[in-house]
Chain A
Amino acid sequence: MASVAVANLSRHFGRVVALDDISFSVADGEFLTLLGPSGCGKSTTLAALAGLDRPTKGTIRIGDRILFDGASGVFVDAQFRNLGLMFQSYALWPHMTVAQNLDFTLELRRIRGAEAKRRIDETLSLVDMIDFADRYPGELSGGQQQRVALARTLVYQPEILLLDEPLSNLDAKLRDRARIWLGELQKRTGVTTVYVTHDQAEALALSDRIIVMNKGRIAQIGTPTEIYETPSDVFVADFVGASNLIDAELALQPGGQATARLPNGEILRVNPGPSGPVTLAIRPEKIVIGEDGGPPDNRVVAKVLAKSYLGARNLYVIGIGGQRLRVETNAGIDATEMPIRLPMESIRVYPRA
């Protein structure tokens, strides 16, 4: 196992800049997630790590090996990197049985005979697929294929495990189970893992650290808590946890306090920030409904515009100051108007260009 260090990595496809000067590192045994919307460059980053795609510039090191260095022209092909890459499509070779899929990777490493058999059995047991060793991939369900695909990347004990949206082909219920299972498996094997997803719930649940990407750049690197609680910009606030975004004008008051004026004139107390046009972000579950005995600031009466029942919770769309906000709460409200509070400490302030 090994650590990963990526520095100043860029990838251009003609005029399209898929990756723009990104740098990050992954510690030995860490579970790191690349999170971002479709097209932000996650797969391109993973392909660069895997050696399937040659970046335009930058360096990639794994352990003490330099695998890519744009300046000196070093590029080690995927074939020689000894990494494990799991595809979104699983890419199980359909003409080989489950065991043969695993065995092929060992054959390439000249691991044969009893040792090969032991490894295959061990790995298939690890993913609970030992009973399916002689099945063909076409005879397996999606969830089973996913396990086999993972087993195939683990059986030769790669230095790094790279997973590209491994759960996206599973249905919702299976996906939750597979996510828990995958997390436990990574803890047990302790293999350094780079995980790609566009699903923030997966990222938050599984990762030691998350890299949020936006348009080929890194928007934020941090632990799940940091990313969720202190998003570094509007994009991250919106993408992770779907914050409500409110345009406002910030004014610093004497005594170090700050107020934000909404377009309709409503004034909210907020944490200090740069004065001028700002975007306020507040998460749907942080908006307090009704009287909660908190401070008297930032209380408004909101119109209830729409309501949808999510089972465990209710989602309301409310209107304040001509802007629509989403609110999540356990309470059921039938009124057309309700008093709400936007707690100052839950409002994050970002300068607006």
Chain B
Amino acid sequence: MTGLAGSRAADAKRQAPVASRFSGFAVQSAISLVSTALIGVALVPAFIQAFLDKPLYYPEAAFTLGNFARLFTDPEIVRTFGTTGLFCLIVVSFSMVVGTTLAVLVGRTDLPGRGALLGVLLWPLFISPQIIGFGAILAYGPYGLITAYIGDAIGVPRPWNLYSVVGIAIISGIAAAPVTMLYCIGAARQQDPNHDAAARVVGAGPGRILRRINLPLMRPALVFALIMNIVSALEALAIPLILGNPVGIRLLTTMIYDLSFDRGTPNYGLVAALALMLMALVAVLFLFQRLVLAGSHRFVSLGSRAGQLRTLPLGRWRWPIFAGVVVYILIAIAALLGCVALRAVTQVFSPDISPFEVLTLANFETILSIDVYVRSITNTLVLAVVGAAAGTALIAGVALVAQRSDYPLRRAVDGIAQLPRVIPGFIVGLGVFYASVFIPGASVLRNTIWLLFVAYLIRFLSSGYGIVSPALLQISADFDRAAKSVGAGWTTTMRRIVLPLSKPALLSCFILLMILIIKEYASAVFLMAPGAEVMGATMLALWLQGQTGPVAALAVLQVALTAVMTVAAKQLLGVKLHG
């Protein structure tokens, strides 16, 4: 040991470099500042606009409460509240009932082929809701394929009316059900098997275990899913717009859309006031969730995870229930996507003409030759790669500050990262649009994809944070402390220890952001401009103009891109995007 002891004196001089006591403070501040600024961009201008009588870039714009007053006096708007309420009620009920049932069936019972079924049932998560809307029109609309077949079969032409509040709501419910499933299946599976075992030991049968143990233990997930469903119903734009607008059914969101596009001079003040009100509603919901779940430690599964969750046997209902799930998949997923795919490869789409007589690739040729389509594809791809990379970097930084630092404001940073979850997508778009008008110099970004880039960073902050932050919690804080104790500063520790260890989560985050950006339309509709088109918003705009063929081709392309990415992520990288 003489060697070790001998060089010790020399070491004293070569100790870890003494820098600031607040190691990493500057980096942490920068990350906090950027994330705060981004959220500010989305919210502040919209907030100011709500209290101005003219667009906020007019110098003579003055303070007013008139926008809010109009919200409650304008008969058209008041009528919209009623419709929106009914719409939300149906969407949420449908999504909760279908989603929870499917989650329990797939997650806890011995349903045949439940692994494969789960994959298919979750598909709509990765598909833009507007594509589901297109599919609904093509399949179940007044001139839809299936409407006609069923009508012929039972001798009643047009046996249902898709273009009704109920019809729109059910289609939106189909789009929302996978979200419920996703929240509930985790809760259904993660339960401590000992709860089950304990109940079995005291003599409870499978049905009773489900009713008395499993479902009550899922309560936090159910409440959370309920709130998220209400939020997503409130902010739903594409499906109500495609299905409702042609027949004059208006929701809060479609009204905001109309107000900002259809009339000669957009009434930004009213739009902002409506948007604020929508967000206030969402905020109240989250407050409510906090209250309801105040004692949720009661639901935390404690103790060892040893042992297997026993699946609940369905007995003789096994195959009938399986058939039911398959029928649901056929009606709610396969028919919609099938019709979109058919539309993409046909010249005309009508129940009177067999699709196989009018097969064509013209729609694809169109989207690959006409500028607008090509640009929207390339822009989307560029934004997907660049946006996902930048978004992942931002999210990683935010998560590290919030979870892995003693930054004084880390709780606030955590809150900020959760905030975009409650900001409806098109409000983010509006906010960024207002900001581009409001912030000096920001106007150079207008009509470029970089405004969209900013909007996407804000919009998907929570989504990525939701993957990275729990993954960070899985990495023992002892690793950081060990690095600190051997002389590493915060930045070094994060870069060399924590980030490399969170690589799988960061990869998942990157892929998820790519998928979300490819299917995004809500925040893009207000930011789209000639030269800055993206697939989601282009599809919506062109559908409303009646260009259904090319739109269907774009939709197929979008779904294919997403599918390739999901499969590649799973197969090549072993990335898990859910479950």
Contacts and interface: CB of A to CB of B under 8 A. Distances in A.
Contacts of A1: 8
B14 interface: yes
A92 B483 CA distance: 10
Contact of A156 (B23, B483, B487): B487
Contacts of B476: 89, 91
User: What size tier do the contact residues of chain B reach?
Assistant: 20 to 34
Nearest to B487: A108
A52 B481 contact: yes
B352 interface: no
Interface in B7-31: 7-8, 11, 14-16, 18, 21, 23
B487 A80 contact: yes
Chain A interface: which size bin? 35 or more
A122 interface: yes
Interface string A67-83: 00000000111111111
Given A75-B21, A79-B16, A109-B11, A91 B478 contact: yes
Given A93-B479, A126-B1, A78 B7 contact: no
Contacts of B481: 52, 78, 85, 87, 91
B201 interface: no
Contacts of B485: 50-52, 78, 81, 83-85, 153
A105 B486 contact: yes
Interface stretch (B171-179, B180-188, B331-339, B494-502): B494-502
Interface string B457-486: 000000000000000000010110111111
Contacts of A330: none
Nearest to B16: A108
B8 A93 contact: no
A156 B497 contact: no
A76 B209 CA distance: 55
Contacts of B18: 80
A89 B14 contact: no
Contacts of A152: 482, 486
Interface in A96-115: 104-105, 108-111
A40 B500 CA distance: 36
A181 to B, nearest CB: 15
Interface in B200-230: none
B75 interface: no
B488 interface: yes
A39 interface: no
Given A108-B16, A126-B1, A79 B478 contact: no
Nearest to A105: B486
Contacts of A190: 1, 5
Given A77-B23, A93-B497, A189-B1, A87 B482 contact: yes
A110 B14 contact: yes
A111 B486 CA distance: 13
Interface string A1-31: 1000000000000000000000000000000
B484 A52 contact: yes
B4 interface: yes
B478 A78 contact: no
B486 A157 contact: no
Given A95-B501, A190-B5, A156 B478 contact: no
A188 interface: yes
A303 B3 CA distance: 62
Contacts of B429: none
Contacts of B5: 189-190
A89 B478 contact: yes
Contacts of B3: 118, 122
Nearest to B3: A122
B486 A156 contact: yes
A152 B485 CA distance: 11
A192 interface: no
A188 B8 contact: no
A90 to B, nearest CB: 8
A94 interface: yes
A123 interface: yes
Given A87-B478, A104-B483, A110-B14, 20 more contacts: A52-B484, A78-B484, A80-B18, A82-B487, A84-B485, A87-B481, A89-B478, A91-B479, A91-B481, A92-B482, A93-B482, A93-B483, A93-B497, A108-B492, A109-B15, A126-B1, A152-B486, A153-B485, A156-B487, A190-B5
15 contacts: A52-B484, A77-B484, A79-B487, A79-B488, A80-B16, A80-B18, A85-B485, A89-B478, A91-B476, A91-B481, A105-B486, A118-B3, A153-B485, A154-B4, A156-B11
Interface of B: 1, 3-5, 7-8, 11, 14-16, 18, 21, 23, 476, 478-479, 481-489, 492, 496-497, 500-501
Q: Which 10 residue pairs spanning A and B have beta carbons closest together?
A: A91-B478, A91-B482, A85-B485, A105-B486, A108-B487, A78-B484, A95-B500, A89-B478, A82-B15, A87-B478
